[in-house]
Amino acid sequence: MTGQERGDSGRSRAGRRRFLSAVGAAAVSGLAGCSADLLDGVTGTDASASGTTGEAARGDAAGTAHRMDGPKEEHDGWPRYHYDSWNTGHRTEPVGFDGAPTIEWETEVGGVNTIVADGGTLYLAEGENGAVRALDAASGAEEWVYDAVEKLELGVETVALDDETAYVGGTTVIHAIDRKSGQQRWTFDVSTPASAPVVVDGTIYVGAGDVLFAIDAAGDRQWALRTGVRIRNPPAVVDDTLYLTGQAWLIAVDAASGEELWALKPEGATPPVTAPVYRAGRLYVGAPTHVHAYDPAAEGDHLWSTETLNQTVYGSPAVAHGQVFTGVNLVDKLHAFDAESGDRSWQRSITVAGSPVVAGDTVYCVDEEYAELRALGATDGSDRWRVAFDGNLDVQPTVTDDRIYVAGLELGNTDGTLYALGER
C-alpha cells in the first residue's frame, strides 16, 4: 500500500468499491488463523491502510434527523448485548415496579460479562468456564448447561438470541445452542477467537480475527469480509447496513453483500474502541478517552467529540432521551452528554462497572467501588435509589419487565454471584 493511498482521505465510494474488487482475490492469503477453504471467495480491504478519516468530504448525502425519539425495536427482556440491534442500551418501557427493589434470589455462577434475558430464562456465557448456562428468571434454578464453548476472551462473554437459538462465539468455533434443550444445533469453524455475535432477521454477524462473517440460521456462511483490523465488539445493525469497530476504526458494511461501504479512524484514536451505538441517524463511539458522534448517511462525517474523559472508555455508551450516557471506571465518573451537541448535561462521581443502561426515564449502573446498584434520573442525574450488596459487584445491569439482574466476580476467583432484584 503506497503512502498516497494511505493518505487518500477523499476517496469516493465508487473508488473504494473498485479497490475492493481489486483486492478481493488476494485477500485469502492474508487471513492469519483462518483456513483458505473456510474463507474461499472472501472479499475485503485493509482499513488500517486505506480507510478514510472522519474529517474527509463524503459526497452529497443529506444531513440526518436530530430528533432522538424515533421508533426502535423493543423487547420484553434483554436478548443481546446492549439490548437491541442498534446497541442503544435503552429499554423504552420501565421496569414494572417503583422505588428501590429487594433481592429476590441469588445463585453462584461463573464469571460473566453480560446477562441476557428472554422468555422467562436468563442466559450466561461464563468465560473462564467455557460454558453457557440457562437459568429460570423467576427462581434462578438451572435449566441446562452447555459446556463445549472453550474459554471465552475478555469482552466477548455474552450470547445473542433469536426465537429458538442462543449463539456464542468461542475460541475456534461459533456455537448455536437450542434454547429449550441446551443441545448443540451446529458449529461454525472460524479457527481464531470470535467476538460477541449479534443476530438480526435470521442472520448471525460475528467477527473472528480481522474477518466479519455473516452466517445463516442453518450455520452456512453467507459472506465473509476481511477488514484488516481485529474485531472484538458486536456491530450495530441498522436496516441494510452494519456498523462495526475494530482496533481504532469505525467501518460500514452492506449487510446483504458484505461489501465495505466506508471506513474512518477518529482523529487521535488508539485502541480500544467501544461497540458503536446508533440512534436517530447518528453513530456514537467511545475511542478511547472521548465519545465521538458521526453521521452515517454522510459516510461518517464527524459531528462532535466530547471533552477528554481522562481515561479509557471501555463500555459502550447508552443513548436515550436526547442524551449519551457513559461511565469511566478508572476516574470514577458517570457522564451524560447532550446527543445533539456533545456538551455535558451532568456528571456523577460513580465507579461504573461495564456500561450504564436506561429503562424508561431511569439510568441504572453498578457502582463497583461500593458494590451498589444505583438508579438515577436520566434528565439530571438525581438519585432515585440504591441497593448495596455484601460481595463484589462488577457486571452491568440487565433490566426486564419485572426484575433487574446484576452479578459480581469474587477477587482472585473464577466464580461469582448472580442477583435478581424485584418489587419490595
Q: Tell me the pLDDT tens digit for each residue of 18-38.
A: 223 222 322 332 333 444 455
pLDDT: which is higher, 129 or 200:
200
Amino acid occupying residue 130? G
Extract the runs of DSSP E, i.e. beta strands, from 170-240. 173-178, 184-189, 198-200, 203-208, 211-216, 221-226, 236-238
Rounded Cα distance between 381 and 16, Å, is: 44
Rounded Cα distance between 226 and 213, Å, is: 9
Buried-state track 142-169, b at ≥16 Cβ within 10 A, e below 16: ebbebeebeebeebbbbbbbbeebbbbb
| Predicted local distance difference test score (pLDDT) of residue 70 | 60
Q: What is the arithmetic mean of pLDDT over 272-281?
A: 92
Q: Which long-range contacts (CB under 8 A, 24 or more apart) does 19-28 make?
A: 19/45, 19/50, 20/44, 20/45, 20/259, 20/260, 27/226
Q: Are 205 and 212 in contact (CB under 8 A)?
A: yes
Q: Are 400 and 116 in contact (CB under 8 A)?
A: no
Rounded Cα distance between 198 and 3, Å, is: 36
Rounded Cα distance between 290 and 188, Å, is: 36
Provide the CATH number for the domain formed by 3-422 in this structure. Answer: 2.130.10.10
In the structure grid, which three cell numbers stand for residue 343, read together?
A: 456538551
Question: Is residue 216 packed enough to be buried (19+ CB in 10 Å), middle (13-18) or exposed (0-12)?
Answer: exposed
CA 34 to chain centre: 24
| Predicted local distance difference test score (pLDDT) of residue 38 | 59
- Check pLDDT > 90 for residue 63: no
CA 324 to chain centre: 15
- Check pLDDT > 60 for residue 340: yes
* Domain residue extents for the chain: 3-422
Other residues' Cβ atoms within 10 Å of the Cβ of residue 390: 9
Question: Is residue 385 packed enough to be buried (19+ CB in 10 Å), middle (13-18) or exposed (0-12)?
Answer: middle
Instruction: Note the pLDDT tens digit of each residue in 93-126.
Output: 999 998 999 999 999 998 888 899 999 999 999 8
| Predicted local distance difference test score (pLDDT) of residue 204 | 96
- For the chain, how far is it from start to end, CA to CA, in angstroms? 62
| Predicted local distance difference test score (pLDDT) of residue 45 | 54
The model's pTM is 0.85
Share of the chain above pLDDT 70, in %: 82
| DSSP letter (8 states) at residue 94 | P
Rounded Cα distance between 242 and 275, Å, is: 12
Rounded Cα distance between 300 and 52, Å, is: 9
Helix (H, G, I), strand (E, B) or coil at 341: coil
